[in-house]
Structure 1
Amino acid sequence: MLTESIKKHKIEYLLVSFVDLFGVIRSKLIPASKAKVAETSGAGFAGFAAHLNLTPAHPDIFLIPDANTLTPMAWQSNVAWITGDLYMEGKLIEHAPRNVLKRVMADAAKKRVTMMTGVEAEFFLLAPDGSRISDERDLLGKPCYDQLALMRRFEFIKEVCDAMQDFGWEPYQNDHEDANGQYEMNWHYSNALQTADRHVFFRFMTKAVAEKHNLRVSFMPKPFSALTGNGCHTHCSLWDASGKKNLFLDSKNLHQLSEKAYQFIAGVMHHAPALSALTNPTVNSFKRLNAKTPDSGATWSPNGISYGGNNRTHMIRIPDAGRFELRLPDGAANPYLLQAGLLAAGMDGIENKMDPGLPRDENMYDIFTKLKVKKLPATLHDALIALDKNRVFREALGGEFIDSYLKLKRDDWSRYMSQVSDWERQSTLDC
């Protein structure tokens, strides 16, 4: 199958890639003539060179390509990107992100359900050095849906959107987002694994195409203190094994969601503190959550653990029948771990028949401090503590993954804490 696809698309090289625990894409460029060798034996990597909690003493790791993920690079048509599963000494690496997601999905499949998701990947278009937004004329106080700013970036957007159409992703809208210099491009939902694979490639594609246009793409959660941050809102529904029946749809129930959907939502809310360690995985992530109001007038990010109808001030929004939107994740989220954590949390809610309570209609930005609503973690450190204590995630995602992730992220936090910022010097130098 892989060889046939390579011939069909006239591919000369394969960019064989995987994502490590920090969401970094690692790759090797392989001549298409060696594709069969890669498909059977795998492409070899030194695991210590990536964020995988391995040492220089560990043997090589091998990526076995998944032919279903082969994606010709539209901007470099003789090269195709492909991902797959990581092995070491013939065994799956339990804590590799894509393997973690596949294991959680397999557990759900045993219950004859599959999760369908779509993501809204927000990003900034910056100057090449990353110091400022790229469009000096993008100055509106409320720039969301700014037509002129959108069309000044038409060539970039068209190239990416055309590629997604060629891939069969069914992109359906592109817009200028709430911050100056910020954009969003949407494509059709799919099963959680395919969505994650496409999300990984989308991040790579936008960055590569941006470089062609002398631009720089950033998914950083909060690159500018006065501007809205980059979210990665995730739409979710649960379907039966045949993929024909939406188990979240109930036209006779509140907001046209089924009891199972509300149980799933309750699970996500219950596990939100631990989940945030996966959906908001950087120090900077928590400068988007609980943030002060930016210049546009709203953060568009949650400030507590709540849900409501078509109300964007809640962590969970119900925009339409048969699905909900999780507004917690940000642009730094590892695509595989985002999906794995969401599914594990929701399935626990169903298994234990959790109740989310009644949805709220209030503007959470106005009255959050007056309500008895659970808060999200204030820092990455707090989120990691919640993840460490979460037994459900340890069982569903795997103890080896949890321990590896915590170790690397705690090291990341320690490196952050060892830095002294300009703000600290300015505010405390004369103490």
Structure 2
Amino acid sequence: MANMNPSILMEAASDRKASQYSKEELDTLRRQIKEKKVRFIFVVYSDFHAMERGKALPVERFLSRLEEGILMAGMQLLRLPKMDIPAMPELPLSIEFNDLRFFPDLKTFKVIPWRKDVATVIADPYDAKGQGAIGFSPRNVARKQVMRLNDCGYEILSALEYEFSALDAKTMAPIHTDKTGHWVKSFFQDWELLTEIYDNLIDIELKVEQIDSEGENGVYEYPIKPSMGLQSADDGFWVKKTVREISQRNGYLASFSSKPFVQSSGISGHFNHSLLDLKTRKPLFFDGQDSDNMSKIMKHWLAGLLRHAPAMVIFGCPTASCQRRFVHFDRATPRNPSWGVDNRTCSFRVKSYGPNQTYIENRIFAAACNPYLTLAVNIAAGLDGVLNELPLPPMVKGSAHHLHEDDGGSQMFSGKLSDAVKALEEDDVICEALGEEFIKTYLNNKKHECQLEAKAQQMGDKSFYDREYLPFL
């Protein structure tokens, strides 16, 4: 791993000083609180596994603490879904055991339609003095990459396609067994749940394009329209929150586990994105003179994604169960770094339907992925391709599943979490871009998870994953 600045605090991680809110922002906030008769505000953030953590404050307390930051324990950022926090010897005690100051991003403030008198706002952690953004916060990591991209004159337009499994809350079995993707009958078996989720997504101002039924039992998806910059990751965070809470209210468990059952197909979280000119908002991926309608910048960006695909795997499939997508796979699961035009067997599927609809679908990413880390690593990889004008390898025509097998499978995704950890450790570009303290803490967690998985296998604990991950992801 490359040598990097050891500071745990991320410089220039925010687009403003931590505790500085404009009069317009504060007036808008107070008006919303008054009009909607809000009594409690949840101040929340994302941990590594995209679990929503935080606390509820009465409105008066929230407003009185807003300028100084909301105090919460920093160690919760490092917590695994159910288990304790892995030991982090190199982490300063002032970060691990003391309170951090979380400053709400008021642009994310939403009144929750299914929770009477309740609102939620996403907050970012700073040090105890409220001066330096914490470098291992997923949202801070994503913001840093968006700012890097903007500094180069580009903006990213993106959206995650999160699939989820609708399970019985008690048995954790699929709520129905019709394994037939896009079969209309399967929609109507769960129609009340699906429309309630849809209505609430619309009420919190997410632009849902459609409701999809996927190929597995009780698996659905709500594709949303793409957003600029950090907002697309926030949108992904809100999708997971809404689906989970509405399902729970109806007596179901919504799981974004990428491989909930060994014999099931993978549950995906594909990342669709394109680049725009920062100032003019002109799409930069389309070139009508190219045989595949791909511009030079798109080819360089895609070359960066391909080069760093092995390091992406740990973010796209962040648990041992997720990794099994690459072993017990279906025809639509990628197995190696590859690209093709409208080719679902490739890791990177190029779609081109005109100047405003030419984009890349990153198919490595599964439903358990963190939206902030997904955004961050895709920018880091693609930007490396653009800045260094990396050449694009030939596209794959036909199935990419057996690509690289002739060289002993050296570039195949192995399906082992430990191999994904190693691939990230060996990628100096991605490690440096995402920051030393984030990489240290993230890899520390993943190595701990590898140990837990190995111990469970050694003891023959077949319920380990169902107990420790499935209900929480």
Q: Normalising by the residue count of structure 2, what TM-score does the alignment of the two structures yield?
A: 0.83
Name the structure 1 match of 2:222.
185
Q: SS where residue 187 of structure 1 aligns?
A: coil
Which stretch of structure 1 is more off in the superposition, 359-368 or 66-75? Answer: 359-368
Once the two structures are superposed, residues 130-187 of structure 1 have per-residue CA deviations (whole angstroms, 9 ceiling, x without a partner) of 531012xx334xx110111112111111112112222332211111101111111111
- Which of 191, 201, 206 lines up with 1:154 in the alignment? 191
Correspondence 1:40 to 2:67: yes
Q: SS where residue 165 of structure 1 aligns?
A: helix
- Which of 309, 324, 335 lines up with 1:272 in the alignment? 309
- Which of 173, 187, 196 lines up with 1:132 in the alignment? 173
- Which of 117, 134, 140 lines up with 1:93 in the alignment? 134
- Which of 437, 440, 443 lines up with 1:403 in the alignment? 440
Residues 404, 411 of structure 2: 8 Å contact kept: no
Which stretch of structure 1 is more off in the superposition, 304-313 or 157-166? Answer: 157-166
- Which of 231, 235, 247 lines up with 2:272 in the alignment? 235
Name the structure 1 match of 2:123.
84
- Which of 104, 108, 133 lines up with 1:69 in the alignment? 108
CA separation of 1:243 and 1:126: change in aligned 2, threshold 3 A = farther
CA separation of 1:399 and 1:129: change in aligned 2, threshold 3 A = same
How far residue 241 of structure 1 moved from its aligned partner, in angstroms, is 1.1
Once the two structures are superposed, residues 197-241 of structure 1 have per-residue CA deviations (whole angstroms, 9 ceiling, x without a partner) of 121121111111001111110111111122211110010101111
Identity rate, percent: 26
- Which of 26, 31, 45 lines up with 2:58 in the alignment? 31
One-letter identity of the residue aligned with 2:390: M
How far residue 35 of structure 1 moved from its aligned partner, in angstroms, is 2.9
One-letter identity of the residue aligned with 1:75: W
- Work out the CA distance in 2 between the residues paired with 1:380 and 1:157: 33
Correspondence 1:5 to 2:32: yes
Name the structure 2 match of 1:333.
369
Correspondence 1:290 to 2:334: no
Once the two structures are superposed, residues 246-296 of structure 1 have per-residue CA deviations (whole angstroms, 9 ceiling, x without a partner) of 111222223322110111111011001111111211111110123244xxx
Name the structure 2 match of 1:429.
none
- Work out the CA distance in 1 between the residues paired with 2:170 and 2:230: 33
- Work out the CA distance in 2 between the residues paired with 1:243 and 1:411: 46
Residues 267, 346 of structure 1: 8 Å contact kept: yes
How far residue 424 of structure 1 moved from its aligned partner, in angstroms, is 8.9
How far residue 328 of structure 1 moved from its aligned partner, in angstroms, is 0.4
CA separation of 1:292 and 1:172: change in aligned 2, threshold 3 A = closer
Correspondence 1:383 to 2:420: yes
- Work out the CA distance in 2 between the residues paired with 1:228 and 1:130: 20
Q: SS where residue 261 of structure 1 aligns?
A: helix
Consecutive unaligned residues in structure 2, runs of 5 or more: 1-24, 80-87, 463-473
Q: SS where residue 256 of structure 1 aligns?
A: coil
CA separation of 1:234 and 1:424: change in aligned 2, threshold 3 A = same
- Work out the CA distance in 1 between the residues paired with 2:430 and 2:404: 28
Name the structure 1 match of 2:335.
303
One-letter identity of the residue aligned with 2:133: L
How far residue 414 of structure 1 moved from its aligned partner, in angstroms, is 1.0
- Work out the CA distance in 2 between the residues paired with 1:367 and 1:237: 26
One-letter identity of the residue aligned with 2:35: K
Residues 130, 216 of structure 1: 8 Å contact kept: no
Residues 110, 120 of structure 2: 8 Å contact kept: yes
One-letter identity of the residue aligned with 2:415: A
One-letter identity of the residue aligned with 1:161: Y
One-letter identity of the residue aligned with 1:390: D
Correspondence 1:214 to 2:251: yes
Query: In angstroms, what is the RMSD of aligned CA positions?
Result: 2.1
Q: Greater relative contact order (Cα 8 A, min sep 6): structure 1 or 2?
A: 2
- Work out the CA distance in 1 between the residues paired with 2:198 and 2:280: 27
CA separation of 1:292 and 1:189: change in aligned 2, threshold 3 A = closer
Consecutive unaligned residues in structure 1, runs of 5 or more: 426-431
How far residue 189 of structure 1 moved from its aligned partner, in angstroms, is 0.4
- Which of 145, 149, 154 lines up with 1:113 in the alignment? 154
Q: SS where residue 28 of structure 1 aligns?
A: strand
Q: SS where residue 67 of structure 2 aligns?
A: helix
Once the two structures are superposed, residues 290-323 of structure 1 have per-residue CA deviations (whole angstroms, 9 ceiling, x without a partner) of 3244xxxx3x210111000111111011122421
CA separation of 1:8 and 1:421: change in aligned 2, threshold 3 A = farther
How far residue 417 of structure 1 moved from its aligned partner, in angstroms, is 1.1
CA separation of 1:374 and 1:190: change in aligned 2, threshold 3 A = same
CA separation of 1:72 and 1:148: change in aligned 2, threshold 3 A = same
Once the two structures are superposed, residues 79-106 of structure 1 have per-residue CA deviations (whole angstroms, 9 ceiling, x without a partner) of 1111021111222111111111111111
Residues 22, 51 of structure 1: 8 Å contact kept: no
Q: Normalising by the residue count of structure 1, what TM-score does the alignment of the two structures yield?
A: 0.91
- Work out the CA distance in 2 between the residues paired with 1:81 and 1:348: 36
CA separation of 1:421 and 1:218: change in aligned 2, threshold 3 A = farther
- Which of 292, 307, 311 lines up with 1:255 in the alignment? 292
One-letter identity of the residue aligned with 1:229: G
Residues 265, 329 of structure 2: 8 Å contact kept: no
Correspondence 1:362 to 2:398: yes
- Work out the CA distance in 2 between the residues paired with 1:102 and 1:80: 23
One-letter identity of the residue aligned with 1:40: E
- Which of 370, 382, 391 lines up with 1:346 in the alignment? 382
- Work out the CA distance in 1 between the residues paired with 2:124 and 2:388: 32
Residues 286, 293 of structure 2: 8 Å contact kept: yes
Correspondence 1:414 to 2:451: yes
One-letter identity of the residue aligned with 1:133: P
Alignment of 1:163-182 (within 5 A): 163-182=200-219
- Matched residue count: 416
Name the structure 1 match of 2:235.
198
- Work out the CA distance in 2 between the residues paired with 1:6 and 1:44: 21
Q: SS where residue 186 of structure 1 aligns?
A: coil
- Which of 296, 312, 323 lines up with 2:344 in the alignment? 312
Residues 157, 229 of structure 2: 8 Å contact kept: yes
